[in-house]
C-alpha cells in the first residue's frame, strides 16, 4: 500500500477547532493536520460578531450568568457539566487568543471591547450585558488567522487540500484515516493513535444557508457509516438575519449595536414576541417571530422577507424608547460613522450583493440555515462517547461544529460557537496527545483504503441516469421546505421518504471527469453522498421528536415536553439501518423552567 | 438574460496547452460569477475545475481574472460585468488545472514574513490582556482584513517579472504585525523586506490596491513599510 503516513495524532479539519487541537497536540505528540481546504479558507473565518466570555470589561458579568444564559438558550437540552466547564474556561480562552496576537477591538482603557448579543444577560436585572469580545464584524476571520499563524510559528505539519474519505478502526480503537490528495487524486492512508475530527457542519443540505460550500458533513457522515452514533441531529439553527435569497449572514451584532427588525407595515415587531430583550432574544425565537410575521401577511410586499434597520435615526429613536444607556450613563446614540466602524463587512456585503447602503437604507433579510447543534457525541474532553453509559472509542475525538458535547442543546447562543471551538479544540488536542503517549500502535490492515476506493469507483461507474447537481438541489429544497424552521409530521415524513429515494437515485450518478488531478466533480459528488446521509438522520430525528424545543419547532406539537423529551437523541447505523436511542441530559444547577425573553 | 461565458481550460492530463471554451448561460443580473461557474460545472461540463468555499468574499478561495481584472468570483455579479464574460486563472502562478493555480509559492512568501505576533516580554501579571489603545489598534486595522486570496500579488507587474518577489500580500501581512503596538519583531521583518526580493521591487503601480477585494490600501501599506525601512522608525 503506497502513501502511508504515520503520526501519533491526526487532526482532520483546519478551522478553529482543528487548528486549536493541532496546536495543543503538537506540543507533545507528532501531529498532522489534514484539511480539504487551505486552513485560512475554513468556515470559522466567516463568523462575524464575537466570542463570548464574562470578562466584564464594560460592566459586571460572571461565568455563572454566562452558564445560565447558555442553559436557557439551549432550552435546557444542553449538558450542564459541559456548559459550566466551557463558561469557566471562556475568560482564559479569550485572553489566550489576545496573547497570541488576536487584534480585538479595544475599550477606551485599552481592554478587549465587548458588545451585546442575543440572550446575553445580567441574570439579576434581565438586561443585556456586553459579553461578546469582538474584532469589528470579522471576529472569526481574526481567530482563524491568529490560530493558523500560531501553527506556523510552532511548525505544525499540514496536509492542505487533502479530503478525508474514511475512518479506520481496528479492534474497536481509532487507527487512522484515509484521504485523497486533491492535486493528484491519490489515496493516502494516515496511521495514527489518536484521531480528532474537526470537520465542521453541514448547512449545505439546506437551500438558503449562510454556510460555505465545504459544509457537507463529511466527518459526521464518515463516522456514522462506521457505526458511531450522531446526537441531537434534529436541532439545526436558522439564523434570523440572512440576506434575502442569498442566505449570507448578517451578524446579530447589528442588533447588538441597536439595529431592529421591521415588518412590511413598518412596525418593529420583536417587542410582541420578547418583551424584555426584544430584538436580542435567542435566535430560534427571533427566526420564528420573522416567519410568523411573514405567514400572517406582514412580510415586505407579500414576500418572504422583513427588514433589518441599522440606520442611525431608527437606532437612536428606539434606543431612547428602550432607555438604553452607555456605560457612563449617557443615552445611547450612534452615527453613520459608528456603523461603518462597527460592521464594515456587513456594509460591504449589502452594497455588493444588494446594492443597498445600510447607513441610509434597510436590509431585506430572511432566516438562513446556519449552525449544526447536533453531531458526533463527545464529553467535555472531546472524547467520542458512543452510547448512553458514556463508553468511548479509544483514540477517537471530535471538536467544533461537527461535535455535540452538548453545550448548545436545542439552540446555540450567538458567539458560543467560536468559544466552543477554541475551548473544546484545545481539550480534544490535549487529550488526544495524552492518549497517544500511552497507547500502543494498532496494526493497520493491508487494505485500509479499499472501502473508500470502491466508493469512488462507484461514482465513476454509475449508470449516469442521475445528475449530482440536480439531485443536490432537490435535496436542499426538500430539506429547507419540509425540515426547516416550522415542522409538521406529514411534511417531515414525506421529506424522509424523498431523501431515502434520493439516496437510491444517488447510485445512478456518474462523474464525467475521468481525470485524477483536482477532480472536483468527483469530490463534490462524494460530498453529496455525505449530505444525503446526514439529511436522513436529521429528518428521522426531527420526525421522531414529538415536542417543540429550541430550534426544533413543531406545529403539531407546539409545547416543550420535559416529561417525555428531556433527553438526547442518538441515531446509530446498524447493519445498514438507522436506529434511534436516547441518553439523559446532565442537569446540575438549573432545573428546566419556562423560557421567556 | 443570456450571457456568454468564455473560460480558460487546461487539463494537464489531456492538453499540451490551454484553450478557451465558450458557454451560453441563462443568468440573472444578480447572479454571482461563481453561480455561473457552478451552473456550468453542474449542468454542462463537470470537469470544469475551480476553488471556492464561503461564496461571499471572506475565505479567499476564488480569486480569478474576470474580464481582465483580478476579482473574487463570488463577489462580482453579472450586472457588474455585462453579458460577455471572460474568466481566466490569475497570472504569474503555475496553472494546475483550469482556474486552479499552484498556491504553494504564495503561502511560502507569506510564511517568510514571520506572520505571527512576536513578543517575548512577560504577560501582564494579572493574566489579563495586553493593553492597546483604540488608536494603536486602528493603526493596523486595514491590513488585518487580508484574506490571502492572492488577487493583489498576481496583479503586480513586479511579481510577473520575478516570482522571487515576495509580492504585495506578503507585505500586507508584514504591515499587520510591524504596526501592531504589541509586536516586537519589526526589526526582523524589516531586515527581510530590505533584501533583494523584498520591498525594493515594488514600483508603486497601484495594481494591488485596485485588485484587492477587501479594499485594503495595499500600496499605501507598502509605502508605510518602505518608510519604516528608510527611517528605521515605526509610527
B84 min Cα distance to partner chain A (Å): 20
Show which of residues 127-186 on chain B sit within 8 Å of chain A, judged by CB atoms.
127-134, 136-137, 140-141, 144-145, 147-148, 177, 180, 182-183
B201 min Cα distance to partner chain A (Å): 26
pLDDT > 90: percent of chain A: 97
Residue of B10, B42, B43, B56 to mutate, testing the A interface (most A Cβ within 10 Å of its Cβ): B56
> According to the model, what pLDDT value does residue B220 have?
97
- The residues, ordered by sequence, that sit 6+ positions from B187 with a Cβ below 8 Å of its Cβ are none
DSSP letters along chain B, please?
Answer: -EEEEEEEE--TTT-SS-EEEEEEEE--TT-BHHHHHHHIIIII-TT-----SSSSSSS---EEEETTEEEEGGG-BHHHH-SEEEEEPPTTS-EEETTEE--HHHHHHHHHT--S----SPPPTTS-PPP--HHHHHHTTGGGG-----TTGGG-HHHHH-TTS--HHHHHHHHHHHT-TT---HHHHHHHHTSTTSGGG-----HHHHH-TT---HHHHHHHHHHHHHHS---
Q: Is the pLDDT of residue A238 over 70?
A: yes
B125 min Cα distance to partner chain A (Å): 13
- Closest chain B CA to residue A513: B47
- Closest chain A CA to residue B50: A520
Please tell me what DSSP assigns to residue A79. Answer: -
C-alpha cell read off for A207? 437551500
Q: Which is nearest to A120 in space by CA: A24, A59, A52?
A: A52
pLDDT (average), residues A417-429: 98
A391 min Cα distance to partner chain B (Å): 36
C-alpha span between A575 and A572 (Å, rounded): 10
What residues pair up with A582 in beta bridges, in sequence order? A569
Residue A464 in contact with partner chain B when CB distance is under 8 A: no
C-alpha span between A83 and A406 (Å, rounded): 8
C-alpha cell read off for A518? 483536482
B67 min Cα distance to partner chain A (Å): 18
- The residues, ordered by sequence, that sit 6+ positions from B195 with a Cβ below 8 Å of its Cβ are none
Q: DSSP H helical segments within A194-311, as ranges?
A: 218-225, 253-256, 270-273, 283-295
Please tell me what DSSP assigns to residue A357. Answer: -
What residues pair up with B85 in beta bridges, in sequence order? B5
Burial label for A80, CB within 10 Å (0-12, 13-18, 19+), is: buried
> According to the model, what pLDDT value does residue A2 have?
74
A189: helix, coil or strand? strand
Instruction: Label residues A390-403 b or e (16+ Cβ within 10 Å = b).
Output: eebbbbbbbbbbbb
C-alpha cell read off for A193? 493513535
C-alpha span between A195 and A448 (Å, rounded): 15
Burial label for A24, CB within 10 Å (0-12, 13-18, 19+), is: buried
> According to the model, what pLDDT value does residue A328 have?
86
C-alpha cell read off for A61? 458579568
Q: Which is nearest to A49 in space by CA: A426, A424, A419?
A: A419
Determine whether the interchain pair A101/B182 forms a contact, defined as Cβ–Cβ distance below 8 Å.
yes
C-alpha cell read off for A15? 478551522
Residue of A181, A520, A526 to mutate, testing the B interface (most B Cβ within 10 Å of its Cβ): A520
Any idea which of A14-18, A444-448, B101-105 has the lowest mean pLDDT? A444-448
C-alpha span between A362 and A346 (Å, rounded): 12
Q: Which is nearest to A115 in space by CA: A363, A430, A332, A349?
A: A332
Are B117 and A101 within 8 A, CB to CB?
A: yes
CA A148 to chain centre: 20
Determine whether the interchain pair B144/A135 forms a contact, defined as Cβ–Cβ distance below 8 Å.
yes
Are B145 and B214 within 8 A, CB to CB?
A: yes
> According to the model, what pLDDT value does residue B232 have?
85
pLDDT in tens, A96-143: 999 999 999 999 999 999 999 999 999 999 999 999 999 999 999 999
Determine whether the interchain pair B131/A37 forms a contact, defined as Cβ–Cβ distance below 8 Å.
no
> According to the model, what pLDDT value does residue A388 have?
72
C-alpha span between B205 and B187 (Å, rounded): 26
C-alpha span between A280 and A258 (Å, rounded): 9
Residue A105 in contact with partner chain B when CB distance is under 8 A: yes
Nearest-CB residue to A103 (from B46, B58, B144) = B144
Are A227 and A573 within 8 A, CB to CB?
A: yes
> According to the model, what pLDDT value does residue B229 have?
93
- Closest chain B CA to residue A154: B116
Q: What is the dihedral of CA A473, A476, A477, A481, to 10 degrees?
A: 180
Which pLDDT band holds residue A206 (cuts at 50, 70, 90)? very high
Q: Which residues of A touch B38 (CB under 8 A)?
A: 469
Task: State which residues of chain B have pLDDT below 50.
Answer: none
Determine whether the interchain pair B47/A513 forms a contact, defined as Cβ–Cβ distance below 8 Å.
yes
pLDDT in tens, A250-284: 999 999 999 999 999 999 999 999 999 999 999 99
Please tell me what DSSP assigns to residue A400. Answer: G
Residue B125 in contact with partner chain A when CB distance is under 8 A: no
Q: Is the pLDDT of residue A327 over 90?
A: no
Cα end-to-end span (Å), chain B: 52
pLDDT (average), residues A478-496: 97
What residues pair up with B137 in beta bridges, in sequence order? none
**CA A523, A524, A528, A530 torsion: positive or negative?**
positive
Angle between helices A63-73 and A80-100 (to 10 degrees): 120
Q: Which is nearest to A29 in space by CA: A157, A178, A167?
A: A157
* Strand order from edge to edge, sheet including A51-52: A51-52, A132-133, A114-115
Determine whether the interchain pair B43/A141 forms a contact, defined as Cβ–Cβ distance below 8 Å.
no
Q: Which residues of B touch A152 (CB under 8 A)?
A: 111, 115-116
pLDDT (average), residues A44-59: 96
C-alpha cell read off for A310? 441599522
Q: Which residues of A touch B58 (CB under 8 A)?
A: 45-46, 138, 141, 345
What residues pair up with A159 in beta bridges, in sequence order? A34
Hey, how many other C-beta atoms are within 10 angstroms of the C-beta on A460?
15
Determine whether the interchain pair A106/B43 forms a contact, defined as Cβ–Cβ distance below 8 Å.
no
Determine whether the interchain pair A349/B57 forms a contact, defined as Cβ–Cβ distance below 8 Å.
yes
C-alpha cell read off for A140? 472569526
Residue B121 in contact with partner chain A when CB distance is under 8 A: no
Q: Which residues of A touch B13 (CB under 8 A)?
A: 515-517
- The residues, ordered by sequence, that sit 6+ positions from A554 with a Cβ below 8 Å of its Cβ are A486, A487, A488, A489, A545, A546, A547, A548
C-alpha span between A376 and A571 (Å, rounded): 10
Q: Which is nearest to B67 in space by CA: B51, B56, B54, B80?
A: B80
What residues pair up with A162 in beta bridges, in sequence order? A181
A212: helix, coil or strand? coil
Nearest-CB residue to B115 (from A98, A152, A512) = A152
Residue of A110, A146, A474 to mutate, testing the B interface (most B Cβ within 10 Å of its Cβ): A110
A150 min Cα distance to partner chain B (Å): 6
> According to the model, what pLDDT value does residue A1 have?
61
What residues pair up with A169 in beta bridges, in sequence order? A174
What is the residue whose three cell numbers read 432607555?
A323
Determine whether the interchain pair B144/A517 forms a contact, defined as Cβ–Cβ distance below 8 Å.
no
> According to the model, what pLDDT value does residue B197 have?
84
C-alpha span between B57 and B146 (Å, rounded): 11
Nearest-CB residue to A515 (from B13, B45, B183) = B13
C-alpha span between A427 and A421 (Å, rounded): 10
Q: Which residues of A touch B49 (CB under 8 A)?
A: 513, 518-521
Nearest-CB residue to A214 (from B41, B53, B215) = B53
Nearest-CB residue to B116 (from A101, A468, A520) = A101
B124 min Cα distance to partner chain A (Å): 10
B10 min Cα distance to partner chain A (Å): 11
Q: Supply angle C-alpha A290, A286, A280, rounded to 5.
A: 135
Q: Which residues of A touch B77 (CB under 8 A)?
A: 352-353
Please tell me what DSSP assigns to residue A560. Answer: -
- In total, chain A counts a number of residues equal to 597
Determine whether the interchain pair B129/A111 forms a contact, defined as Cβ–Cβ distance below 8 Å.
yes
Determine whether the interchain pair B100/A513 forms a contact, defined as Cβ–Cβ distance below 8 Å.
no
Are B124 and B74 within 8 A, CB to CB?
A: no
For the entire predicted model, the pTM comes to 0.97
Show which of residues 184-213 on chain B sit within 8 Å of chain A, judged by CB atoms.
none
CA A515 to chain centre: 34
CATH numbers and ranges of domains, chain B: 2-101 (3.10.20.30), 104-231 (1.10.1060.10)
Show which of residues 30-69 on chain A sit within 8 Å of chain B, judged by CB atoms.
37-38, 40-43, 45-46
Q: Which is nearest to B43 in space by CA: B26, B60, B61?
A: B26
Please tell me what DSSP assigns to residue A390. Answer: -
DSSP letters along A218-233, please?
Answer: HHHHHHHHTT--EE-T
Amino acid at each position: 500500500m503506497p502513501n502511508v503516513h504515520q503520526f501519533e495524532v491526526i487532526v482532520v479539519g483546519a478551522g478553529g477547532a482543528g487548528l486549536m487541537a493541532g496546536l495543543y497536540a503538537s506540543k507533545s505528540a507528532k501531529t498532522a493536520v489534514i484539511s480539504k481546504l487551505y486552513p485560512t479558507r475554513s468556515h470559522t473565518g466567516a463568523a462575524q460578531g464575537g466570542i463570548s466570555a464574562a470578562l466584564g470589561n464594560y460592566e459586571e458579568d460572571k461565568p455563572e450568568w454566562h452558564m445560565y444564559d447558555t442553559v436557557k438558550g439551549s432550552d435546557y437540552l444542553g449538558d450542564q457539566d459541559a456548559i459550566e466547564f466551557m463558561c469557566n474556561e471562556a475568560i482564559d480562552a479569550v485572553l489566550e487568543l489576545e496573547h497570541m496576537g488576536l487584534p480585538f477591538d479595544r475599550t477606551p482603557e485599552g481592554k478587549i471591547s465587548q458588545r451585546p448579543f442575543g440572550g446575553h444577560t445580567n441574570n439579576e436585572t434581565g438586561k443585556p450585558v456586553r459579553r461578546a469580545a469582538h474584532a469589528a464584524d470579522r471576529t472569526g476571520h481574526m481567530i482563524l488567522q491568529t490560530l493558523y499563524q500560531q501553527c506556523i510559528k510552532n511548525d505544525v505539519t499540514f496536509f492542505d487540500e487533502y479530503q478525508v474519505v474514511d475512518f479506520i478502526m481496528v479492534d474497536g480503537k481509532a487507527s487512522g484515516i484515509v484521504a485523497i490528495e486533491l492535486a493528484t487524486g491519490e489515496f493516502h492512508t494516515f496511521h495514527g493513535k489518536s484521531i480528532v475530527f474537526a470537520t465542521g457542519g453541514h448547512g449545505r443540505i439546506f437551500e438558503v444557508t449562510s454556510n460555505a460550500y465545504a459544509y457537507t458533513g463529511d466527518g459526521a457522515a464518515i463516522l456514522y457509516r462506521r457505526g458511531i452514533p450522531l446526537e441531537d441531529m434534529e436541532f439545526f439553527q436558522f439564523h434570523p438575519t440572512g440576506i434575502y435569497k442569498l442566505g449570507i449572514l448578517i451578524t446579530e451584532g447589528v442588533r447588538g449595536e441597536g439595529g431592529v427588525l421591521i415588518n412590511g407595515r413598518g412596525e418593529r415587531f420583536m417587542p410582541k414576541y420578547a418583551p424584555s430583550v426584544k430584538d436580542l432574544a435567542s435566535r430560534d425565537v427571533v427566526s420564528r417571530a420573522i416567519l410568523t410575521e411573514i405567514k400572517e401577511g406582514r412580510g415586505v410586499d407579500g414576500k418572504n422577507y422583513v427588514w433589518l434597520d441599522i440606520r442611525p435615526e431608527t437606532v437612536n429613536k428606539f434606543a431612547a424608547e428602550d432607555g438604553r444607556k452607555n456605560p457612563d450613563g449617557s443615552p445611547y446614540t450612534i452615527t453613520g460613522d459608528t456603523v461603518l466602524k462597527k460592521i464594515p463587512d456587513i456594509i460591504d456585503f449589502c452594497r455588493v450583493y444588494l446594492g443597498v447602503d445600510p447607513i441610509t437604507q434597510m436590509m431585506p433579510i430572511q432566516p438562513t440555515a446556519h449552525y449544526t447543534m447536533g453531531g458526533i457525541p463527545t464529553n467535555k474532553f472531546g472524547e467520542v462517547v458512543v452510547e448512553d453509559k458514556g463508553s468511548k472509542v479509544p483514540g477517537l475525538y471530535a471538536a467544533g461544529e461537527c461535535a455535540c458535547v452538548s453545550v448548545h442543546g436545542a439552540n446555540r447562543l450567538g458567539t458560543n460557537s467560536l468559544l466552543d471551538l477554541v475551548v473544546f479544540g484545545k481539550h480534544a488536542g490535549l487529550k488526544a496527545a495524552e492518549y497517544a503517549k500511552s497507547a500502543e500502535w494498532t496494526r493497520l490492515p493491508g487494505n485500509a483504503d479499499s472501502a473508500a476506493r470502491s466508493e469512488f469507483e462507484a461514482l465513476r461507474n454509475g449508470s449516469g441516469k442521475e445528475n449530482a447537481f440536480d439531485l443536490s438541489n432537490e435535496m436542499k429544497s426538500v430539506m429547507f421546505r419540509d425540515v426547516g424552521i416550522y415542522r409538521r409530521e406529514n411534511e417531515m415524513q414525506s421529506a424522509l421518504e424523498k431523501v431515502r429515494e434520493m439516496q437510491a437515485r444517488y447510485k445512478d450518478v456518474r462523474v464525467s471527469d475521468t481525470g485524477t488531478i483536482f477532480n472536483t466533480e468527483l469530490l463534490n459528488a462524494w460530498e453529496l453522498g455525505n449530505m444525503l446521509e446526514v439529511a436522513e438522520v436529521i429528518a428521522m430525528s426531527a420526525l421522531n421528536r414529538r415536542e417543540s424545543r429550541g430550534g426544533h419547532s413543531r406545529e403539531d406539537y407546539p409545547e416543550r415536553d420535559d416529561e417525555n423529551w428531556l433527553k438526547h437523541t442518538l441515531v446509530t447505523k446498524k447493519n445498514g439501518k438507522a436506529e434511534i436511542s436516547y441518553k439523559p441530559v446532565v442537569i446540575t444547577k438549573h432545573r428546566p423552567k419556562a423560557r421567556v425573553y | 438574460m443570456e450571457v456568454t461565458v468564455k473560460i480558460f481550460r487546461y487539463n494537464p492530463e489531456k492538453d499540451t496547452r490551454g484553450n478557451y471554451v465558450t458557454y451560453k448561460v441563462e443568468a440573472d443580473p444578480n447572479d454571482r460569477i461563481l453561480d455561473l461557474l457552478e451552473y456550468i460545472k453542474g449542468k454542462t461540463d463537470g470537469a470544469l475545475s475551480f476553488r471556492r468555499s464561503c461564496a461571499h468574499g471572506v475565505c479567499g478561495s476564488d480569486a480569478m481574472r474576470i474580464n481582465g481584472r483580478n476579482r473574487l468570483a463570488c463577489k462580482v455579479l453579472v450586472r457588474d460585468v455585462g453579458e460577455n464574460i471572460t474568466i481566466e486563472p490569475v497570472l504569474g502562478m503555475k496553472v494546475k488545472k483550469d482556474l486552479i493555480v499552484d498556491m504553494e509559492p504564495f503561502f511560502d512568501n507569506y510564511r517568510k514574513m514571520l506572520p505571527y505576533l512576536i513578543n517575548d516580554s512577560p504577560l501582564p501579571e494579572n493574566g489579563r490582556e495586553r493593553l492597546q489603545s483604540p488608536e494603536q489598534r486602528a493603526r493596523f486595522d486595514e491590513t488585518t482584513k487580508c484574506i490571502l486570496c492572492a488577487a493583489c500579488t498576481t496583479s503586480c507587474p513586479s511579481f510577473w517579472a520575478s516570482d522571487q518577489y515576495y509580492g504585495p500580500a506578503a507585505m500586507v501581512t508584514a504591515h499587520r504585525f510591524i504596526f501592531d503596538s504589541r509586536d516586537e519583531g519589526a526589526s526582523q521583518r524589516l531586515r527581510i523586506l530590505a533584501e533583494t526580493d523584498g520591498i525594493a521591487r515594488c514600483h508603486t503601480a497601484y495594481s494591488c490596491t485596485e485588485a484587492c477585494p477587501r479594499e485594503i490600501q495595499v500600496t499605501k501599506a507598502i509605502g508605510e513599510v518602505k518608510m519604516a525601512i528608510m527611517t528605521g522608525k515605526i509610527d
